[in-house]
Chain A
Amino acid sequence: AQSVTQLDSHVSVSEGTPVLLRCNYSSSYSPSLFWYVQHPNKGLQLLLKYTSAATLVKGINGFEAEFKKSETSFHLTKPSAHMSDAAEYFCVVSERGKGNDMRFGAGTRLTVKP
């Protein structure tokens, strides 16, 4: 069965500095991977997805993630943090062919300091 681990429950960065949110996964098959963002009192919004095409995936708002099969990782990065990036981020793994197939990480809270 697939699972996902977000290695940091909380990350704090200064505005204008790089962001790195780490995610490791385990999957028996070729997984699909997603990053979602959740702002306060809102639902989860899709940032980007990996579905076995290019290993470097670009998403919205300047975020990108790289799928590394050898390291079973799918870390989320952004070159320069903005105050509006402060939110909760979720890494999600999905295996093919199953209805109840999405597994959510516990989330990483990103704080951006001025």
Chain B
Amino acid sequence: DAGITQSPRYKITETGRQVTLMCHQTWSHSYMFWYRQDLGHGLRLIYYSAAADITDKGEVPDGYVVSRSKTENFPLTLESATRSQTSVYFCASRNRLNQPQHFGDGTRLSIL
């Protein structure tokens, strides 16, 4: 099915562990984005990518790592999870600048 999918949908882990959230899109969109959504903060951009092998920091990049070896995938890694990274994470993609982004259904991550 065409679209953007995130996995897992739910994840519970412990502080200090490494965790990777996956994002896959089937449209071959150039741009991909990672956001976190927290009460009182709305949506905040973590990282984005303009094309394969091109990534850049957003508003809140600390503690996160991204890669984009293939156009369709944009994984987000928390190298050493902290409780403050408990959040709902959304991946998005779009074809070109000034066009709307298309969002996945999110990953709810809890860090104990």
Interface residue ranges, A against B (CB under 8 Å):
32, 34, 36, 41-46, 49, 51, 90, 94, 96-102, 104-107
Contact = CB atoms under 8 A, between A and B. Distances in A.
20 contacts: A41-B106, A42-B106, A43-B90, A43-B92, A43-B103, A43-B106, A44-B43, A44-B92, A45-B103, A46-B102, A96-B98, A97-B97, A98-B97, A99-B31, A100-B45, A100-B58, A101-B97, A105-B42, A106-B42, A107-B42
Contacts of B101: 44, 102
Contacts of B92: 43-44
B105 A34 contact: no
Contacts, number: 50
B50 A99 contact: yes
Contacts of B43: 44, 90, 104
Given A44-B90, A106-B42, A100 B105 contact: no
The size class of the interface chain B forms with chain A is: 20 to 34
What 7 A-B pairs are tightest by C-beta distance, nearest first?
A43-B103, A44-B103, A104-B43, A106-B42, A43-B105, A46-B100, A32-B98
Nearest to A51: B98
The secondary-structure label for the interface of chain A is loop
Contacts of B58: 100
Interface of B: 31, 42-43, 45, 48, 50, 56, 58, 90, 92, 97-98, 100-106, 108
B98 A100 contact: no
A107 B39 CA distance: 10
A51 B105 CA distance: 25
Contacts of A36: 103
A96 B99 CA distance: 10
Contacts of A107: 42
Nearest to A102: B101
